[in-house]
């Protein structure tokens, strides 16, 4: 059977491996393009959020490529992502496609359902032990991918030859793509990190630091967010984002400063005292945290019409005022043009630079 | 002077007002309700609210603006769950409403953002009522009495609506008594579905309901169906939605498509409403599949001119009438 899955940043490398190793044929979704968007927009409700539309487009593209079934994740709300599957299926059925979408709901919500669905993808004749090992191994691959991507953004603002870091990252990603066994994955990760860390750098720079928060999909998918982290990185800006598929940073980096999910909510409480779905509360809480860590500014990425992020945006001015950090909110839909975003980014960077200089001045005078 | 509590005449107002009003009055508060929505409410709301929000949220801001200098507290309950039903809660914008108001409107009086989560059991509502009452130093017996009367008022309100009254008719009837002159039966029956704050606010929906009646159609709504009948329809959904009002609207749509066939369905939706992006398409698909039920979406935005809506309604009604004759 030919299986596909949603495209999210570089994670396809791990999903592809898992599906193939299970003995299916993976249909790797193309990186979201203008065509994906056009297809998605044509068949989606007008005010569906951009992840919905892109996913719709991806399904249509992968159906063309022969995919018979997709694996995707669900959710318990209250935001729309958890209802995507139902709607995608209904719409595709109306279009006459007999395409199945296997939606994995978070196991806590319905354990039995989760197992049943696992059982559906587990090839007959494969033992559970082997099956789980395969999943674990490829999860490790996913973590490795997160780690090298994370490293890329740390190094980028210091690179001497523009583009070096990204090229090194691609090389590392390729190595991970080719790694088969557990050991090979560890080796590739080790080697990959080395390649990225060793590009020529100018460590005397003191780059602007920007934290990126927002809705998970537009934060994770560079093709939809105008490659924002790479763009900023190559403009010499140090960026950090809070969301990773494997929560790599949550476990390793932020926790070093002892900050976990719970603390993020705690930080948000004076401003937003309720879980509102998506990453709404995180956007608020993390802004506070980044401000406390001395970041210069924040970028909030949000799909147009996104429920939790609109709320977060509405609350943001108060947060920004009280913790003293400028926030730029970028809403993304099919009409958002890259040029406009770049202009806004440049203006924002100017503002941050001026603020820094002002602060330095004040410090001098004091 | 009694404490003046302000109640914005919007959003959940249309579902729970009799409860709130009775309760606060019985506690000895003076209840001040904002006036029915006008152009000014909208303008104020647009001015204050985050500009990417839907109109209902903006309108709510407008109602709060009207109240803010006239009252001591404004009651903005944080509705989280009003029943235990799968993962159902409210639209994220409801969940964040008190926080949003605090961040966007200056010079607010105290916001009473009582958190309402009734999924824990039938005693929860009383516990919450008690908390509110005690916070203002009211004794337990008075709270209990207020609670009972409030529940009674709400039951009556719901009964009236199930009997076929619209929200404003039912409220008027409860306040002034008298009968609503129920006029003769019309040829067509149309189910008008959507969130109560779109269906029952005649300013924002451009008086759709009354217009339909004038054009010769009886209007039925989700509130006219008993909760039990609505719940029976739930199983037609492969997965329940997360938003209380969306589920109600969808269940009502199934009800009017299957149990009590109407001539057509109209879905009233707010421009850029998140849940409705899903709900509207779902209704449309289901209407097609359940025996070609005529379906019309009326989308409301800040500039909806009544001209456009009128023509669409007329065309829809004409189509239904022709269909009638053919059958
Ligand atoms: S978080 Fe926003 S973009 Fe994501 S599903 Fe929810 S509403 Fe859509
Ligand atoms: S349900 Fe729709 S109209 Fe109502 S508050 Fe949410 S987004 Fe706005």
Is B95 in contact with A317 (Cβ distance < 8 A)?
no
Average pLDDT, chain A: 92
What local confidence, expressed as pLDDT, does residue B94 receive?
96
Query: Is B140 exposed, middle or buried (CB count within 10 Å of its CB: 0-12, 13-18, 19+)?
Result: exposed
What separation in Å is there between the alpha carbon of A306 and the centre of ligand 1? 5
Percentage of chain B surpassing pLDDT 90?
A: 84
Position A236 confidence tier, pLDDT thresholds 50, 70, 90: very high
Count Cα neighbours of A62 within 13 Å in the Cβ-side half-sphere.
29
What is the C-alpha separation between A127 and A121, in angstroms, rounded?
12
**Run of H or E including A331:** strand A327-332
Residue B250 contacts A, CB cutoff 8 Å: no
> Which residue CA neighbors atom 2 of ligand 1 most closely?
A306
In the DSSP assignment, the letter for residue A28 is: P
Distance from CA of A309 to the nearest CA of B (A): 10
Distance from CA of B40 to the nearest CA of A (A): 21
What is the C-alpha separation between A249 and B72, in angstroms, rounded?
46
Mean pLDDT of A178-204: 97
What lies within 8 Å, CB to CB, of B321 at 6+ separation is: B187, B188, B216
Mean pLDDT of B170-178: 89
Cis ω on the peptide bond leading into residue B225 (within 30° of 0)?
no
What lies within 8 Å, CB to CB, of A365 at 6+ separation is: none
What local confidence, expressed as pLDDT, does residue A250 receive?
47
CA distances to A54, A71, B154, B238, B280 from A99, rounded to whole Å, are 17, 11, 47, 16, 22
Residue in chain A lying closest to B87 (CA): A76
What local confidence, expressed as pLDDT, does residue A108 receive?
73
Which of the residues A305, A310, A319, A331 would you substitute to probe the B interface, choosing the one with the greatest number of B C-beta atoms within 10 Å? A310
Whats the size of chain B, residue-wise? 327
Comparing A18-27, A69-78, A273-282, the range with the smallest average pLDDT is A69-78
Position A256 confidence tier, pLDDT thresholds 50, 70, 90: very low
What local confidence, expressed as pLDDT, does residue B69 receive?
96
Which residue stretches of chain A are H helix?
12-21, 34-43, 50-64, 84-94, 111-121, 128-155, 164-178, 182-197, 216-220, 228-234, 248-252, 261-268, 280-292, 307-323, 338-365
Residue A214 contacts B, CB cutoff 8 Å: no
What local confidence, expressed as pLDDT, does residue B182 receive?
64
In the DSSP assignment, the letter for residue A31 is: P
Q: Which residue has the tokens 């509110």?
A: B132
Mean pLDDT of A219-247: 93
What lies within 8 Å, CB to CB, of A21 at 6+ separation is: A134, A138
Average pLDDT, chain B: 93
Residue B103 contacts A, CB cutoff 8 Å: yes
Q: Is the CB of B241 under 6 A from ligand 2?
A: no
In the DSSP assignment, the letter for residue A110 is: -
For ligand 1, residues with CB inside 6 Å are A 49, 51, 79-81, 215, 278, 303, 306-309; B 274
- B-facing residues of A in 98-127 (CB < 8 A) are 109
Residue in chain A lying closest to B281 (CA): A45
Residue A313 contacts B, CB cutoff 8 Å: yes
What local confidence, expressed as pLDDT, does residue A77 receive?
67
Query: B31 has which bridge partners?
Result: B5
What local confidence, expressed as pLDDT, does residue A248 receive?
53
Q: Is the pLDDT of residue A245 over 90?
A: no
> Which residue CA neighbors atom 1 of ligand 2 most closely?
B91
Mean pLDDT of A288-305: 95
Q: Mean pLDDT highest for which of A115-124, A163-172, A252-261?
A: A163-172
Q: Is the pLDDT of residue A242 over 90?
A: no
Residue A260 contacts B, CB cutoff 8 Å: no
Query: B75 has which bridge partners?
Result: B112
Architecture of domain A207-365: 3-Layer(aba) Sandwich (3.40)
CA pseudo-torsion sign A344, A347, A353, A357: negative
Per CB-CB distance under 8 Å, the chain A contacts of B276 are 47
Q: What does the block give as tokens for B138?
A: 């009211």
Q: Which residue has the tokens 């105290």?
A: B110
What is the C-alpha separation between A229 and A212, in angstroms, rounded?
9
Q: Is the pLDDT of residue A311 over 80?
A: yes
Q: Which long-range contacts (CB under 8 A, 24 or more apart) does A259-264 make?
A: A259/A289, A263/A289, A264/A289
> Which residue CA neighbors atom 5 of ligand 2 most closely?
B93
Distance from CA of B56 to the nearest CA of A (A): 13
Percentage of chain B surpassing pLDDT 70?
A: 97
Strand, coil or helix: A190: helix
Q: Is the CB of B275 under 6 A from ligand 2?
A: yes
CB atoms within 10 A of CB A2: 15
Q: Are A115 and A108 in contact (CB under 8 A)?
A: no
Position A9 confidence tier, pLDDT thresholds 50, 70, 90: very high
Nearest ligand to the CA atom of B300: 2
Domains A2-126 and A207-365 share a fold: yes
CA angle A115/A119/A125 to nearest 5° reads 145
Q: Are A100 and A68 in contact (CB under 8 A)?
A: yes
> Which residue CA neighbors atom 6 of ligand 2 most closely?
B91
pTM of the shown model: 0.94
**Run of H or E including A301:** strand A297-303
What local confidence, expressed as pLDDT, does residue B324 receive?
83
Query: B190 has which bridge partners?
Result: B219, B264
Q: What does the block give as tokens for A271?
A: 């401003």
Which of the residues A50, A51, A77 would you substitute to probe the B interface, choosing the one with the greatest number of B C-beta atoms within 10 Å? A77
3-state secondary structure chain B: CCCEEEECCCCCHHHHHHHHHHHHHHCCCEEEECCCCCHHHHHHHHHHCCCCCCHHHHHHHHHHHHHCCCCCEEECCEEEECCCCCCCECCHHHHCHHHHHHHHCCCCCEEECCEEEHHHCCCHHHHHHHHHHHHCCCCHHHHHHHHHHHHHHHHHHHHHHHCCCCHHHHHHHHHHCCCCCCCCCCCEEEEEECCHHHHCCCCCCCCHHHHHHHCCEEEECHHHCCHHHHHHHHHHCCCCCCEHHHHHHHHHHHHHHHCCCCCEEEEEEECCCHHHHHHHHHHHHHHHHCCCCCEEEEEECCCCCHHHHHHHHHHHHHHHHHHHHHC
- B87 → closest Cβ in A76, A80, A307: A76
Strand, coil or helix: A284: helix
Percentage of chain A surpassing pLDDT 90?
A: 82
- B-facing residues of A in 38-77 (CB < 8 A) are 45-49, 52, 76-77
Q: How many CB pairs under 8 A join A and B?
A: 127
Architecture of domain A2-126: 3-Layer(aba) Sandwich (3.40)
| Structural domains for chain B | 4-162 (3.40.50), 185-326 (3.40.50.11900)
Whats the size of chain A, residue-wise? 366
What local confidence, expressed as pLDDT, does residue A281 receive?
92
What local confidence, expressed as pLDDT, does residue B292 receive?
87
pLDDT, tens digit, 9 for 90 and up, residues B264-318: 999 999 988 999 999 999 999 999 988 789 999 999 887 766 778 889 999 999 9
Cα-Cα end-to-end distance for chain B: 65
From the centroid of its chain, how far is CA B83?
Answer: 16
Q: Are A71 and A1 in contact (CB under 8 A)?
A: no
What local confidence, expressed as pLDDT, does residue B184 receive?
66
Position B58 confidence tier, pLDDT thresholds 50, 70, 90: very high
What local confidence, expressed as pLDDT, does residue B180 receive?
67
> Which residue CA neighbors atom 3 of ligand 2 most closely?
B273
Mean pLDDT of A153-162: 96
Strand ranges across the sheet with A69-73: A25-26, A2-4, A69-73, A100-104
Query: A331 has which bridge partners?
Result: A302
Per CB-CB distance under 8 Å, the chain A contacts of B92 are 78-79, 276-278, 280, 307-308, 311
Phi, psi for residue A71 in degrees, rounded to 5: -110, 130
Nearest ligand to the CA atom of A308: 1
Per CB-CB distance under 8 Å, the chain A contacts of B53 are 310, 314
CA pseudo-torsion sign B101, B105, B109, B110: positive
Is B103 in contact with A314 (Cβ distance < 8 A)?
yes
Q: Is the pLDDT of residue A254 over 70?
A: no
What is the C-alpha separation between B220 and B199, in angstroms, rounded?
11
Which of the residues B45, B60, B236, B274 would you substitute to probe the A interface, choosing the one with the greatest number of A C-beta atoms within 10 Å? B274
> Which residue CA neighbors atom 7 of ligand 1 most closely?
A306
Query: Is B199 exposed, middle or buried (CB count within 10 Å of its CB: 0-12, 13-18, 19+)?
Result: buried
Comparing A108-117, A133-142, A224-233, A309-318, the range with the smallest average pLDDT is A108-117
Domain ranges of chain A: 2-126, 137-203, 207-365
Residue A188 contacts B, CB cutoff 8 Å: no
- A78 → closest Cβ in B89, B98, B113: B89
Per CB-CB distance under 8 Å, the chain B contacts of A52 are 277
Distance from CA of B45 to the nearest CA of A (A): 13
Nearest ligand to the CA atom of B56: 2
What local confidence, expressed as pLDDT, does residue A252 receive?
39
């Amino acid at each position: 059977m030919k299986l596909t899955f949603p495209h999210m940043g570089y994670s396809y490398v791990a999903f592809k491996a898992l599906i193939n190793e299970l003995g299916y044929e993976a249909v790797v979704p193309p990186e979201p393009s203008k065509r994906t968007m056009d297809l998605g927009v044509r068949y989606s409700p007008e005010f569906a959020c951009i992840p919905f539309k892109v996913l719709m487009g991806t399904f249509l593209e992968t159906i063309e490529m022969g995919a018979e079934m997709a694996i995707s994740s669900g959710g318990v709300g209250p935001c729309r992502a958890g209802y995507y599957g139902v709607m995608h299926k209904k719409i595709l059925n109306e279009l006459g496609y007999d395409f199945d979408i296997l939606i994995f709901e978070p196991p806590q919500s319905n354990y039995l359902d989760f197992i049943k669905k696992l059982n559906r993808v587990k090839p007959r004749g494969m033992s559970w032990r082997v099956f789980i090992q395969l999943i674990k191994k490829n999860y490790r691959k996913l973590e490795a991918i997160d780690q090298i991507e994370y490293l890329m953004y740390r190094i980028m603002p210091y690179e001497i030859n523009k583009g070096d870091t990204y090229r090194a990252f691609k090389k590392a990603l390729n190595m991970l793509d080719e790694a088969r066994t557990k050991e090979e994955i560890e080796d590739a990760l080790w080697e990959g990190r080395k390649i990225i860390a060793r590009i020529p750098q100018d460590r005397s720079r003191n780059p602007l630091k920007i934290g990126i928060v927002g809705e998970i999909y537009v934060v994770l998918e560079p093709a939809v967010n105008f490659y924002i982290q790479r763009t900023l990185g190559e403009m010499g800006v140090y960026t950090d984002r809070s969301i990773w598929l494997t929560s790599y940073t949550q476990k390793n980096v932020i926790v070093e400063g002892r900050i976990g999910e719970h603390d993020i909510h705690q930080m948000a409480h004076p401003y937003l005292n309720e879980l509102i779905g998506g990453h709404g509360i995180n956007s608020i809480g993390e802004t506070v945290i980044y401000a406390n860590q001395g970041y210069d500014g924040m970028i909030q990425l949000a799909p147009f019409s996104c429920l939790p992020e609109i709320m977060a945006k509405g609350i943001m001015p108060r947060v920004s005022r009280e913790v003293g950090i400028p926030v730029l909110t970028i809403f993304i839909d099919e009409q958002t043009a890259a040029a406009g975003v770049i202009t806004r980014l440049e203006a924002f960077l100017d503002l941050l630079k001026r603020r820094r200089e002002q602060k330095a001045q004040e410090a001098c005078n004091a | 002077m009694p404490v003046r509590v302000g109640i914005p005449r919007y959003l959940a107002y249309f579902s729970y007002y009799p409860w709130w009003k009775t309760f606060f009055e019985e506690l000895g508060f003076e209840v001040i309700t904002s006036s029915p929505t006008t152009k000014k409410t909208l303008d104020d709301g647009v001015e204050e609210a985050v500009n990417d929000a839907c109109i209902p949220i903006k309108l709510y801001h407008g109602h709060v603006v009207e109240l803010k200098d006239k009252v001591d507290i404004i009651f903005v309950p944080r509705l989280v769950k009003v029943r235990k039903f799968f993962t159902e809660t409210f639209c994220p914008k409801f969940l964040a409403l008190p926080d949003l108001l605090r961040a966007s409107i200056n010079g607010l009086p105290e916001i009473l953002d009582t958190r309402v989560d009734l999924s824990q059991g039938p005693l929860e509502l009383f516990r919450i009522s008690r908390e509110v009452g005690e916070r203002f130093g009211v004794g337990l017996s008075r709270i209990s009495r207020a609670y009972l009367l409030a529940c009674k008022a709400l039951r009556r309100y719901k009964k009236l609506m199930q009997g076929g009254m619209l929200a404003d008719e039912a409220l008027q009837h409860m306040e002034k008594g008298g009968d609503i002159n129920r006029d003769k039966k019309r040829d067509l029956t149309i189910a008008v579905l959507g969130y109560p704050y779109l269906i029952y606010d005649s300013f924002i929906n451009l008086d759709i309901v009354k217009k339909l009646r004038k054009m010769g159609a009886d209007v039925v709504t989700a509130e006219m169906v008993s909760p039990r009948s609505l719940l029976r329809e739930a199983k037609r959904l492969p997965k329940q939605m997360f938003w209380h009002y969306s589920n109600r609207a969808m269940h009502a749509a199934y009800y009017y498509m299957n149990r009590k066939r109407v001539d057509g369905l109209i879905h009233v939706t707010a421009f850029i409403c998140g849940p409705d992006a899903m709900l509207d398409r779902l209704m449309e698909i289901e209407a097609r599949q359940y025996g070609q039920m005529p379906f019309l979406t009326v989308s409301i935005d800040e500039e909806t001119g009544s001209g456009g809506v009128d023509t669409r309604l007329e065309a829809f009604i004409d189509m239904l009438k022709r269909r009638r004759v053919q059958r």
